[in-house]
Amino acid sequence: MSDGRRVAITGMGMVTPVGADVQSGWDALVAGTPGGGPITLFDAGEFTARIACEVKDFDPLGWMGRKEARRCDRYAQFGVAAAVQAMESAGLSGPPPGCDPYAFGVLIGSGIGGITTLENNCRTLFDRGPRRVSPFLIPMLIPDIVSGLVSIRYGLRGPNYATVSACASSAHAIGDAARYIREGRAELMVAGGAEAAVAPISVAGFAAMKALSTRNDDPQGASRPFDATRDGFVIGEGAGCVVLEEMERARARGVEILGEVAGYGPTGDAHHMTAPLPGGEGALSAMRIALKDAGLGPDDVDYINAHGTSTPLNDRAETGAIKALLGPRAYDIVVGSTKSMTGHLLGAAGAVETVVCVLACRTGVIPPTINFSTPDDDCDLEYAHAGPIERPVTVALNNSFGFGGHNVCLAIRKYGE
């Protein structure tokens, strides 16, 4: 985004399996805390995959009223909580007096939406008939409802919708929101993603396609990106949101600027419903486009928060793409996957990992990739397997890829650099 208005990050929020706010989540990630465990949200005894990274100790009443909480699917509760955290950290309670509310928008994506609500109401329909289906079924399950709820709460009348691109959903949301600001069509956007798909139907579906780890006897060690013994991802849940603001506007109101969305690279594989291009060409193009958009080059990259799902195909293709992007320098930077701890948050992953990139830039600390035991000749970069790494990070790339061949790379730059 080098040739237009700059996009500041002025607020952040997240709800994850290792912490229900930014500070606790970040501390846990730096400490290498695993978020996996046996599924408790339903009886998974007959499932081939019986583990997940569930959000723990989350009380929706800390973020919304009891009535609203009853009318929100779990994914929406997470999304609202992350958005409220982000707005509070940005020092905002809505458009400031005298500002145009149509210049303030919300773009919060979800890959799946309210699947638990849908599943429960399908049971009601089949067991008790159509008259017993909840009148809140539709607003509770649709993927755009978090954007709607946040806009209503804060009176934000600008661009308002959800991106739905599987596991790239929230990265698309942040990139699109940044583009609105860059192009002068918005002054401020709340952007991110939310997901809560630890439900029988989705776990059964992912397991049927052999996407999930079945390391049920070792739930904390099951998510092992880039390890030769990886056997699939561990499904997770949570939400992440950022407040994006036009840079000069943020400076004028004196808010702390946490970082900058410097570049956005969206591409498509046009290859397969679920598998990435074997050589990672789509991922490579996304990273190149993000860097060009930011006015940066491969030599500027200090850290890559990889998509790093712990699936055999993704980790191999992504590593190949990074090598093609950086050449020999790929061995000099850190390529980490926080999914080793959070599991795969699906449509929320890109937003949570954007927060991680911002914090890595601010603190000079890169979280580890845990659960390494067996080297893979095809995945031979520095993944921070030994623990967190302390080094300056000025530019971080955040990769997010989704079923359907959706690729997004966000270039995050440290503020003041």
Whether the per-residue pLDDT at 2 is higher than 50: the answer is no
pLDDT band at 281 (very low <50, low <70, confident <90, very high): very high
Model pLDDT, residue 97: 78
Give the model confidence (pLDDT) of 356-376 as tens digits: 999 999 999 999 999 999 999
DSSP 8-state assignment for residue 90: T
The answer to whether the 7-259 and 264-413 domains have the same CATH topology is: yes
Q: Which residue has the tokens 């995050």?
A: 412
Query: Rounded to two decimals, what is the model's pTM?
Result: 0.97
CATH of 264-413, one of 3.40.47.10, 3.40.50.720, 3.40.50.970, 2.40.170.20: 3.40.47.10
pLDDT band at 417 (very low <50, low <70, confident <90, very high): low
Any idea where the domains of the chain sit in the sequence?
7-259, 264-413
Tokens of 28: 């846990």
What is the C-alpha separation between 408 and 401, in angstroms, rounded?
6
Of all residues in the chain, what percent carry a pLDDT higher than 70?
Answer: 99
Residues serving a catalytic function are: 167, 307, 344
CA–CA distances in Å: residue 320 to residues 131, 198, 277, 305, 313: 54, 31, 11, 15, 11
**Which segments of 125-175 are extended strands (E)?**
160-161
Whether the per-residue pLDDT at 1 is higher than 90: the answer is no
Give the model confidence (pLDDT) of 286-302 as tens digits: 999 999 999 999 999 99
- What residues contact residue 305 under an 8 Å CB cut-off, 6+ apart? 336, 337, 338, 353, 356, 357, 360, 396, 397, 398, 399
DSSP 8-state assignment for residue 212: B
- Picking from 198, 192, 142, 201, the residue whose alpha carbon sits closest to that of residue 348 is 192
CATH superfamily of 7-259: Thiolase/Chalcone synthase (3.40.47.10)
pLDDT band at 4 (very low <50, low <70, confident <90, very high): confident
Q: Which residue has the tokens 């465990």?
A: 37
Length of the chain: 417
